[in-house]
Amino acid sequence: MELQAGDKAPDFKTTDQDGNVVSLKDFKGKKVALYFYPEDDTQVCTVQACNLRDNYDELKKHGITILGVSPNDQKSHKKFEQKFKLPFPLLVDEDLKLANKYGVWAEKVLYGNRHMGIVRSTFLIDEKGKIHSIVKRALSKIHTQQILKGFGMA
């Protein structure tokens, strides 16, 4: 069943690029933008991450915590974070548990070829752990604006 606004956000426990254990419960009382992206250090994913980095102070000013998620491992996330000076956690989802819980591991079509992959999506989670809204088509160059608009702040 597809997640929708108003649903309780599925909890998770995983590690970030520094090996810290991260759980959604850790962010109770805070707004969270949980964004799923396909792969570290690829063109579109880098533009998206850098858009969030460049607007990080604005997001923090509105009380929004950013959490990135991809199937890459901790070492890949660490390199990506360091190369682009990303100020937010990148969560490891090698086993695709998070992607499957949030319904973003799905069939995609690229140049007529079908394959499974991460559907670039962002779940905006409110202070009570409920999904406030979902950015189903995250646009890398304006992702911050989509997040602010999704939370009703733009």
Q: What CA–CA distances, in Å, run from 36 to 52, 92, 147? A: 13, 11, 13
Residue in 45, 91, 99, 135 annotated catalytic: 45
H or E segment to which residue 146 belongs: helix 143-150
Torsion sign over Cα 28, 12, 83, 118: negative
Closest Cα partner for 68 from 85, 87, 54, 42? Answer: 87
User: What is the torsion angle, in degrees rounded to the nearest 10, for the CA atoms of residue 29, residue 33, residue 39 and residue 43?
Assistant: -140
Retrieve residue 25's tokens: 């419960």
45 counts as catalytic = yes
Q: Among all residues, which ones are annotated catalytic?
A: 45
